């Protein structure tokens, strides 16, 4: 198998962005309709570990419940989840992992409409994306790695 055969270009018409707090049933906006992402389907274990760790941290953060707790109880809950919160806020691991796996794209900036910088070996470009974008891209990488040659 050649390196070219390890690449997979995926249409991103199915990426739907919704404003924070909007229901999943809300229509949303197809921000990257007609655009593509090219992914390296060979996923090193370190990259897979970074993506899975980031995804699980996101799930953990979503389950942090402080409502109705005293200030001390809420502080203790947040302190016990500090590592996951820091991982989600800094994003460095996920930015680096995605920059190794996403070789190219035709994505444009959702606000300006200008082409985004090329992603390969450019972790900084991922810092310009919101959590919805990162989750979508992490999911694409994982699915492409599990099914590198779809029929």
Burial class (CB in 10 A: 0-12, 13-18, 19+), 6: middle
Long-range contacts of 56-62 (CB under 8 A, 24+ apart): 56/84, 57/83, 57/84, 57/85, 57/87, 57/88, 58/88, 58/131, 58/135, 60/84, 61/85, 61/88
pLDDT, residue 69, reads: 81
Q: What is the pLDDT of residue 149?
A: 61
Mean pLDDT score across all residues of the chain: 83
Residue stretches of the chain with pLDDT short of 50: 59-61, 151
Q: What's the pLDDT score for residue 148? A: 59
pTM of the model: 0.74
Look at residue 59 in the predicted model and tell me its pLDDT. Answer: 47
């Amino acid at each position: 198998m050649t390196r070219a055969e390890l690449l997979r270009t995926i249409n991103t018409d199915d990426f739907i962005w919704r404003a924070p707090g909007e229901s999943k049933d809300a229509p949303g906006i197809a921000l990257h309709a007609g655009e593509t992402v090219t992914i390296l389907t060979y996923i090193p274990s370190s990259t897979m570990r970074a993506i899975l760790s980031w995804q699980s941290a996101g799930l953990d953060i979503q389950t942090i419940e402080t409502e109705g707790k005293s200030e001390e109880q809420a502080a203790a809950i947040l302190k016990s989840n500090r590592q996951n919160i820091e991982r989600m806020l800094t994003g460095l691991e996920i930015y680096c992992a995605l920059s190794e796996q996403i070789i190219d794209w035709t994505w444009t900036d959702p606000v300006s409409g200008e082409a985004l910088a090329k992603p390969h070996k450019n972790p900084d470009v991922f810092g310009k994306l919101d959590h919805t974008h990162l989750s979508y891209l992490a999911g694409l990488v994982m699915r492409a790695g599990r099914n590198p040659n779809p029929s």
